[in-house]
């Protein structure tokens, strides 16, 4: 897909038909998470491989960010898989990821260092309580449902204030609506928490109208479309850019 001009809002509908990475590309990215020892723990390798093979999330996010140069802050970054996908895609933008799960951050930081990824930082942070200072692009991928409504709204407003004139806010989230997909998303999130895949309890899938209202009130133009791939989940991709130039009300310095 050709990059959109850096100052246009990419139309999220253009990403709806994107497929997950093919086997070869998924393995190339996931290999970074394979253990060095023969009998080492392969959980992160298989988790990333399955995610990359089955979910069009990263093709969608890479397409949304392509053509931008602003540094990206990944809120709730997990293992920092997006940084690997970006570099593999030839996108060299500085990457900073934060997540509440200290174990994931330690493993992700070790892998990023072992791979020699440049301009990649991973840190422990509860984004429901604080956010780093940032001006650029922001990604929030499959994280919003873990925050209470007030914390979710506060995070979205803070993220909106961080978007540089040519930056983008890219959100992927399961949406709350009346569909069977929505029920499946909520059940699978609860299951992931119960079996220990996810430490945080999912509590609050947002609605599309609620998200639009918060982001548009915060001065962004929003484009939203489903990004299901072949998953049974009600996953949507939102891409937002400043409605007027001269923004980035948050400070750039970390």
Ligand X SMILES: C[S@@+](CC[C@H](N)C(=O)[O-])C[C@H]1O[C@@H](n2cnc3c(N)ncnc32)[C@H](O)[C@@H]1O
Six-digit token pair at 78? 């997990």
Is residue 128 near ligand X by the rule CB under 6 A? yes
Supply angle C-alpha 140, 141, 143, rounded to 5: 80
Q: How many residues bind ligand X (CB under 6 A)?
A: 17
- Minimum CB–partner distance for residue 245 and ligand X (Å): 29
From 70, 72, 86, 127, residue interacting with ligand X (rule: CB under 6 A): 127
Distance of CA 158 to the CA centre of its chain: 16
Is residue 63 near ligand X by the rule CB under 6 A? no
Nearest to 114 by CA among 168, 164, 44, 184: 44
Cα–Cα distance, 175 to 185 (Å, whole number): 8
Supply angle C-alpha 63, 144, 147, rounded to 5: 160
Is residue 65 near ligand X by the rule CB under 6 A? no
Query: Segment 80-119, which members bind ligand X (CB under 6 A)?
Result: 81, 99-101, 104
Is residue 156 near ligand X by the rule CB under 6 A? no
From 63, 91, 131, 142, residue interacting with ligand X (rule: CB under 6 A): 142
Is residue 202 near ligand X by the rule CB under 6 A? no
Is residue 77 near ligand X by the rule CB under 6 A? yes
Cα–Cα distance, 120 to 96 (Å, whole number): 6
- Minimum CB–partner distance for residue 200 and ligand X (Å): 4
Q: For residues 134 and 162, is the Cβ–Cβ distance under 8 A?
A: yes
- Minimum CB–partner distance for residue 217 and ligand X (Å): 23
- Minimum CB–partner distance for residue 80 and ligand X (Å): 8
Cα–Cα distance, 10 to 64 (Å, whole number): 6
Q: Which residues in this chain contact ligand X in the complex, by CB under 6 A?
A: 76-78, 81, 99-101, 104, 126-128, 141-143, 146, 199-200
């Amino acid at each position: 897909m050709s990059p959109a001009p850096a100052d246009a809002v990419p139309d999220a509908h253009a990403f709806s038909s994107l497929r997950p990475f093919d086997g070869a590309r998924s393995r190339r990215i996931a290999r970074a998470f394979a253990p060095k020892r023969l009998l080492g723990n392969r959980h992160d390798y298989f988790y990333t491989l399955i995610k990359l093979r089955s979910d069009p999330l990263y093709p969608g996010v890479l397409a949304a960010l392509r053509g931008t140069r602003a540094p990206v802050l990944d809120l709730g970054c997990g293992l920092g898989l997006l940084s690997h996908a970006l570099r593999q895609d030839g996108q060299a933008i500085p990457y900073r990821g934060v997540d509440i799960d200290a174990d994931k951050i330690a493993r992700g930081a070790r892998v990023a260092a072992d791979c020699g990824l440049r301009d990649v930082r991973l840190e422990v942070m509860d984004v429901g309580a604080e956010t780093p200072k940032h001006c650029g692009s922001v990604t929030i991928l499959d994280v919003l449902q873990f925050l209470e409504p007030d914390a979710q709204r506060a995070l979205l407003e803070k993220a909106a204030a961080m978007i540089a004139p040519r930056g983008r806010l890219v959100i992927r989230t399961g949406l709350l609506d009346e569909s069977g997909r929505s029920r499946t998303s909520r059940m699978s999130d609860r299951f992931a928490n119960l079996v220990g895949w996810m430490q945080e309890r999912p509590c609050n899938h947002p609605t599309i109208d609620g998200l639009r209202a918060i982001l548009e009130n915060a001065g962004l133009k929003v484009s939203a479309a489903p990004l299901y791939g072949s998953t049974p989940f009600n996953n949507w991709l939102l891409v937002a850019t400043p409605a007027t130039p001269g923004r980035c009300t948050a400070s750039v310095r970390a």
